[in-house]
Chains A and B, each alone.
Chain A
């Protein structure tokens, strides 16, 4: 009876059933090195992006260089994309470990093995989660009910913590593997002896190629000269007036009438006194033109020529001293970031404009007509569109 039942059940493999000599620490450490580097870049650039979006900034996020956030957030998404082939090959190389038997009987060994396996489970779950949710976020696909930003941020800390523990546990093997020859078998499992279609060098070169293709196929969303070859990029970089949009006026429930004859931009100073300008009034003030990127948290970016009034000029007219933090209020009625904070160093930056024109034309409604904020080195979600008031906090 027992033997009959077991013959009907799919057998669970053991570590020894995996015989390819490619599933080796020599391969895993080399792929893991680049995977670790890409996770590190993702983590650091992610911290920058998270901080840039924080209302509360003990150390003000700098307004220079104007292209800074475009580069860090582009790098964030590019290195995350590069990590996808790397993670798949890395998990393939260590897959037999999933079927490693527990050292039953020896309590201390069981505790050590158990702890290590828990840390690996956390690392794999976190790593897959980060790349998957990040990828889906670039394509604005949210088939879950958790909030993306706090969850992606929190799991990043969990994943990096588990990665550091993993490196601590494996350090001697990593060091041996990376300093030794790729063909070295010192740390291989006894069964990992069979040569297959690919050599170890062949698998590594293929992995680097897959990683390079993944980057080239997607990075055009933010790297202009790759636009024509990035066939999987979520944005061509084109759109109304030459710039893509993220949130349409329809989605934000803003209409052309609201920005019509009755519209004014109100600047409310520290005493609560408002100074108001109609769009016609703003057009009479000194107009400045700045070339600044819209750099979205989802990793796409596009540079454009913005024309309008320097925000500092309006603040001077309204009696707002330099170094004052501001609240930017939009006409938008739906979604987050309808009210954002603009730190004093951004408000005072010469390049920070209340833009009225984009690439030589009046702003289209989807780009924030009648007026929008455009500031250097700032995440796209904070470049408030459909501005209605600017208030001293």
Chain B
């Protein structure tokens, strides 16, 4: 057991030192305004995730649990995980925020159409899986009446 705790202590110290080196790099190479901007983005990412994305996932899962027939819930939850993460990933491309009018080779696809294609494929997969489940279980599914915080996991 002493070996295990030694490994963990060594890892902990190593991680701490690596982190301190990173903090030194961060603080020593830029001026105050740049550091302030970096701090805002560091904190902002956590705030946006914990306060917005996580709550939106909870809310959408709760809505799905109430509105969807039971045969559709599992495929819909899986579809939600896929589409949610792909959509977040696609925001910079969909908005074309980095596009430059002197460079036609950057962001040179129709991203709206591409994203829509993924949505159509995932929704079709969810529908097919739901219909297959309905056929095998022979039930049509009743709305869920649970009122707990979580509803369906997303």
A91 touches B49 (CB 8 A): yes
Q: How far is the CA of A354 from the CA of B118 in the complex (A)?
A: 43
Query: Which residues 119-145 of A sit at the B interface, judged by CB distance below 8 A?
Result: 121-122, 124-126, 128-129, 132-133, 135-136, 138-145
B21 touches A234 (CB 8 A): no
| Count of residues in B whose CB is under 8 Å from the partner chain | 78
Q: Which of A16-24, A57-65, A272-280, A341-349 contacts B (4 or more CB under 8 A)?
A: A16-24
Q: Which residues of A contact B22 (CB under 8 A)?
A: 154-161
A231 touches B111 (CB 8 A): yes
Q: Which residues of A contact B12 (CB under 8 A)?
A: 164-165, 168-169
Interface centre among B12, B40, B90, B153 (most CB of A within 10 A): B153
Q: Which residues of A contact B86 (CB under 8 A)?
A: 85, 210, 213-214, 217, 232
Q: How far is the CA of A251 from the CA of B41 in the complex (A)?
A: 28
Q: Which residues of B contact A125 (CB under 8 A)?
A: 42-43, 45-46
Which residues does B use to contact A, with CB under 8 Å? 4, 7-9, 11-12, 14-23, 25-26, 29-30, 33-35, 37-38, 40-43, 45-46, 49-50, 53-54, 57, 64-65, 73-74, 76-78, 81-82, 84-86, 88-90, 92-93, 95, 97-98, 100, 102-109, 111, 113-115, 117-118, 148-154
B74 touches A197 (CB 8 A): yes
Q: How far is the CA of A232 from the CA of B54 in the complex (A)?
A: 24
Kindly report which residue of chain B lies nearest to residue A160, judged by CB atoms.
Answer: B18
30 residue pairs A–B, Cβ–Cβ below 8 Å:
A13-B149, A19-B149, A85-B81, A85-B85, A88-B53, A139-B92, A141-B98, A151-B38, A154-B29, A155-B38, A160-B15, A161-B16, A162-B19, A164-B18, A165-B11, A168-B8, A168-B12, A171-B7, A197-B77, A210-B81, A213-B82, A213-B86, A217-B89, A218-B89, A231-B109, A232-B90, A232-B111, A245-B103, A245-B105, A246-B103
- Beyond A91-B54, A154-B29, 13 additional pairs, beta carbon < 8 A: A85-B81, A124-B49, A143-B97, A146-B38, A146-B41, A150-B29, A153-B25, A157-B18, A161-B20, A231-B111, A232-B86, A232-B111, A247-B103
Asked whether any CB of chain B lies closer than 8 Å to the CB of A287, the reply is no
Do A232 and B16 contact each other (CB < 8 Å), given the known contacts A84-B85, A132-B41, A197-B73?
no
Q: Which residues of B contact A124 (CB under 8 A)?
A: 45-46, 49
Asked whether any CB of chain B lies closer than 8 Å to the CB of A271, the reply is no
Do A206 and B81 contact each other (CB < 8 Å), given the known contacts A128-B49, A157-B22?
yes
Interface centre among A124, A142, A196, A217 (most CB of B within 10 A): A196
Which residues does A use to contact B, with CB under 8 Å? 13, 17-20, 22-23, 81, 84-85, 88-89, 91-92, 95, 98, 121-122, 124-126, 128-129, 132-133, 135-136, 138-147, 150-151, 153-169, 171-172, 194, 196-198, 202-203, 205-207, 209-210, 213-214, 217-218, 231-236, 238-240, 244-248, 250-251
Kindly report which residue of chain B lies nearest to residue A236, judged by CB atoms.
Answer: B108
Q: How far is the CA of A120 from the CA of B42 in the complex (A)?
A: 13
Do A251 and B100 contact each other (CB < 8 Å), given the known contacts A157-B19, A161-B20?
yes
Q: Which residues of B contact A150 (CB under 8 A)?
A: 25-26, 29-30
Checking A19, A85, A247 against B148 with a beta-carbon cut-off of 8 angstroms, the contacting residue is A19
B118 touches A168 (CB 8 A): no
Q: Which residues of B contact A129 (CB under 8 A)?
A: 41-42, 45
B17 touches A161 (CB 8 A): yes
Checking B21, B43, B106 against A140 with a beta-carbon cut-off of 8 angstroms, the contacting residue is B106
B19 touches A244 (CB 8 A): no
Do A235 and B108 contact each other (CB < 8 Å), given the known contacts A154-B25, A156-B22, A197-B73?
yes
Q: How far is the CA of A92 from the CA of B153 in the complex (A)?
A: 9
Q: How far is the CA of A132 from the CA of B38 in the complex (A)?
A: 12
Q: Min CB distance, B110 to chain A, in Å?
A: 8
B41 touches A140 (CB 8 A): no
Q: Which residues of B contact A19 (CB under 8 A)?
A: 148-150
Q: Min CB distance, A359 to chain B, in Å?
A: 14
Checking A133, A156, A157, A202 against B74 with a beta-carbon cut-off of 8 angstroms, the contacting residue is A202
Q: Min CB distance, B48 to chain A, in Å?
A: 8
Q: Min CB distance, A354 to chain B, in Å?
A: 23
Q: How far is the CA of A64 from the CA of B89 in the complex (A)?
A: 34
Q: Which residues of A contact B89 (CB under 8 A)?
A: 81, 84-85, 135, 214, 217-218, 232
Checking B9, B41, B65, B88 against A133 with a beta-carbon cut-off of 8 angstroms, the contacting residue is B41
Q: Min CB distance, B30 to chain A, in Å?
A: 6
Do A122 and B19 contact each other (CB < 8 Å), given the known contacts A141-B98, A231-B115?
yes
Kindly report which residue of chain A lies nearest to residue B25, judged by CB atoms.
Answer: A154
Q: Which residues of A contact B25 (CB under 8 A)?
A: 150, 153-154, 157
B105 touches A140 (CB 8 A): no
Q: How far is the CA of A198 from the CA of B151 in the complex (A)?
A: 11
